[in-house]
């Protein structure tokens, strides 16, 4: 047994009595090549290695690409470097990402293109291309996995990782090395933060942007940083939660870290208590090297141009359902519950929900179940601008039990299989429902053929 190859993850207790027990087991089960048992000198060496593993500082890192969509466009077109660039989404209607140069001109994320052009007339505006962004994202993931043994693919441009400095390397050295490696190999600027927990690591990387590299593991330095950050900088604490905290004198991240834990739990539930632990340097969750099983799957988003036309709204429902079925079949699951949410321009949403008698991924059965949901979610004469279709209560396709009276239609199932094979071979949406004909312009625009939610394997949407 080679002690130098024992990982810290093999141990759950930090007690030295446990170390003693491990060493006894190692010595009883380890012999030298000569056949005799290890000596007291070997015991000392083993003890030194294990103590070092228990007392070594552990840290979590967060790597975030700077202006990722813009940076990705600059990788394939260097002409864009140093110029104000905006990436357009939602059928080209608004700016979903912008360069720092465009930000300096006053353009905001989510701003309509016509307003952005007024603020930044010299800007260069390009259509989104999530297939290209995914290619670079997965290249970053490959590099990250080379640099750390445990990497979480959190989002298309964010990664959490276990920070493991090499011999003679500090955590700060590691942060700088990671940043430089990504830049040199992929030409992508990124910012790296390293801290005692993932929440602290993200706060540090956010504060170090752009193109920063910062490791903060001393409590005094942590508190200095937290004192100048408003509590809304924490992922999971938006304006509504911040408003709930303010009467108790909790306005900054440091205020939250120093608040009574019971009070935080009372105000923000168990989720808030977990954030409290994280702010105090105690990790509450593991780094997921592989994505956990989905609890729900969804498809939807902006409708682009608002519409009050029921036929067009129905076409969007069918489009989102076909996209959802793609995902259901990929993950080999079937839903038992469906929710249809429709957002309207006046801010008042509509919603319809249904439970399926038997889990299924058949298009005809799911559409039949969703028609009443659309009727409940539809608000006549009110322009709709967003739609989301959510599948829950997921059951494994291979083990799902059919009901006594569940319809079994071999022809419909064979048709679904043929449709899937054709689309996989010829191109996505080559075969689709005729109900989507009102959305011809959407399908004709290649930028709408692949979206952020189509990038699989990441933890966050």
How confident is the model over 93-131, as pLDDT tens digits? 899 999 999 999 999 999 999 999 999 999 999 999 999
232 and 262 both lie in a single domain: yes
Distance CA 292, CA 287 (A): 11
Give backbone dihedrals phi and psi of 289, rounded to 5 degrees, phi first.
-70, -25
Q: What is the 3-state secondary structure (H, E, C) of 206-223?
A: HHHCCCCEEECCCHHHHH
Report the range out of 33-42, 297-306, 373-382, 442-451 with the highest average pLDDT.
Answer: 373-382
Which pair of tokens denotes residue 422?
Answer: 């054709």
Name the residues annotated as catalytic. 158
- Please determine, for residue 20, whether its predicted confidence score (pLDDT) is greater than 60: no
Q: In the prediction, which pLDDT does 456 show?
A: 95
Among 290, 309, 340, residue at a domain's last position = 290
Q: In the prediction, which pLDDT does 46 show?
A: 54
Q: In the prediction, which pLDDT does 8 show?
A: 38
Tokens 């990705």 sit on residue: 72
Could you tell me if 297 and 333 are in contact, meaning their C-beta atoms sit under 8 angstroms apart?
Answer: yes
Which pair of tokens denotes residue 211?
Answer: 């193109």
**Which CATH number goes with the domain that contains 414?**
3.30.1490.100
Q: What angle do CA 283, 289, 292 make, to 5 degrees?
A: 90
- Please determine, for residue 359, whether its predicted confidence score (pLDDT) is greater than 80: yes
**Which CATH number goes with the domain that contains 270?**
1.10.150.20
Could you tell me if 3 and 34 are in contact, meaning their C-beta atoms sit under 8 angstroms apart?
Answer: no
Q: Would you say residue 318 lies in a domain?
A: yes
166 and 96 both lie in a single domain: yes
Tokens 């193109």 sit on residue: 211
Q: Would you say residue 69 lies in a domain?
A: yes
Among 290, 313, 333, residue at a domain's last position = 290
Q: Would you say residue 147 lies in a domain?
A: no
Which pair of tokens denotes residue 215?
Answer: 């490791």
178 and 100 both lie in a single domain: yes
209 and 112 both lie in a single domain: yes
As for how many domains the chain has, the answer is 4
Q: What is the 3-state secondary structure (H, E, C) of 138-173?
A: HHHHHHHHHHCCCEEEEECCEEEEEECCCCCCCHHH
- Average confidence score pLDDT of the chain: 89
Query: For 158-204, what is each residue's pLDDT tens digit?
Result: 999 999 999 999 999 999 999 999 999 999 999 999 999 999 999 99
Report the range out of 7-16, 129-138, 402-411 with the highest average pLDDT.
Answer: 129-138
- Please determine, for residue 13, whether its predicted confidence score (pLDDT) is greater than 50: no
358 and 261 both lie in a single domain: no
Q: Would you say residue 48 lies in a domain?
A: yes
Nearest to 335 by CA among 377, 363, 371, 374: 363
Q: Can you spell out the DSSP letters for 234-262? A: STT--HHHHHHHGGGT--BHHHHHHS-HH
284 and 309 both lie in a single domain: no
Mean pLDDT of 219-236: 96
In this structure, the dihedral spanned by the alpha carbons of residues 447, 452, 455 and 456, taken in order and rounded to 10 degrees, is -140
Could you tell me if 383 and 359 are in contact, meaning their C-beta atoms sit under 8 angstroms apart?
Answer: no
Query: For 342-357, what is each residue's pLDDT tens digit?
Result: 999 999 999 999 999 9
Could you tell me if 390 and 370 are in contact, meaning their C-beta atoms sit under 8 angstroms apart?
Answer: no
Q: Would you say residue 461 lies in a domain?
A: no
Could you tell me if 105 and 120 are in contact, meaning their C-beta atoms sit under 8 angstroms apart?
Answer: yes
Tokens 């910062």 sit on residue: 214
- Please determine, for residue 17, whether its predicted confidence score (pLDDT) is greater than 70: no
List the domain range (segments joined by +) for residue 47: 3-56
Nearest to 163 by CA among 224, 211, 134, 205: 205
CA distances from 12 to 7, 15, 16, 232 (A): 11, 9, 12, 34
Distance CA 453, CA 376 (A): 26
Specify the range with the lowest mean pLDDT, choosing from 293-297, 365-369, 406-410. 406-410
Query: For 384-416, what is each residue's pLDDT tens digit?
Result: 999 999 999 999 988 876 655 556 788 888 888
Q: Would you say residue 385 lies in a domain?
A: yes
* Stated pTM of the model: 0.84
């Amino acid at each position: 047994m080679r002690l130098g190859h024992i990982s810290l993850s093999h141990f759950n207790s930090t007690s030295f009595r446990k170390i003693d027990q491990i060493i006894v087991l190692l010595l009883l089960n380890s012999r030298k090549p000569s056949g005799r048992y290890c000596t007291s000198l070997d015991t000392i060496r083993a003890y030194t290695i294990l103590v070092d593993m228990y007392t070594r500082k552990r840290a979590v890192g967060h790597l975030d690409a700077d202006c990722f969509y813009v940076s990705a466009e600059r990788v394939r077109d260097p002409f864009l470097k140093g110029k104000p660039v905006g990436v357009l989404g939602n059928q080209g209607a608004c700016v979903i990402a912008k360069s720092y140069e465009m930000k300096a001109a006053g353009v905001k994320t989510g701003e309509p293109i016509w307003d952005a052009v007024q603020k930044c007339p010299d800007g260069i505006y390009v259509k989104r291309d999530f297939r290209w962004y995914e290619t670079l994202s997965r290249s970053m993931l490959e590099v990250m996995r080379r640099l750390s043994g445990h990497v979480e693919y959190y989002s298309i441009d964010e990664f959490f990782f276990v920070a493991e400095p090499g011999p003679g390397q500090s955590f700060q050295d590691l942060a700088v090395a990671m940043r430089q490696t990504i830049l040199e190999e992929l030409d992508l600027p990124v910012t790296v933060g390293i801290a005692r927990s993932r929440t602290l690591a993200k706060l540090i990387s956010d504060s170090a942007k752009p193109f920063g590299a910062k490791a903060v593991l001393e409590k005094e330095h942590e508190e200095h940083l937290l004192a100048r950050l408003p509590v809304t900088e924490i992922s999971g604490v938006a304006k509504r939660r911040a408003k709930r905290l303010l009467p108790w004198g909790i306005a900054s991240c440091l205020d939250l870290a120093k608040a009574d834990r019971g009070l935080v739990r009372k105000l923000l539930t168990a989720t808030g208590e977990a954030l409290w632990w994280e702010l105090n340097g105690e990790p509450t969750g593991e780094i997921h090297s592989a994505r956990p099983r989905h609890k729900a799957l969804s498809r939807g988003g902006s409708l682009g141009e608002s519409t009050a036309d029921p036929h067009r709204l129905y076409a969007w429902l069918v489009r989102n359902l076909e996209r959802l079925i793609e995902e259901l079949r990929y993950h080999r699951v079937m839903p038992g519950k469906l929710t249809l949410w429709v957002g309207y321009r006046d801010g008042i949403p509509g919603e319809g929900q249904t439970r399926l008698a038997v889990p299924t991924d058949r298009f005809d059965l799911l559409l039949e179940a969703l028609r009443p949901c659309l009727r409940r979610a539809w608000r006549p004469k009110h322009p709709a601008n967003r739609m989301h279709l959510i599948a829950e209560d997921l059951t494994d396709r291979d083990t799902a039990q059919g009901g006594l009276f569940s319809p079994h239609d071999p022809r419909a199932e064979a048709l679904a299989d043929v449709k899937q094979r054709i689309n996989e071979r010829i191109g996505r949406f080559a075969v689709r429902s005729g109900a989507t004909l009102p959305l011809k312009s959407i399908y004709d625009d290649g930028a709408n053929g692949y979206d952020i939610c189509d990038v699989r394997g990441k933890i966050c949407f």
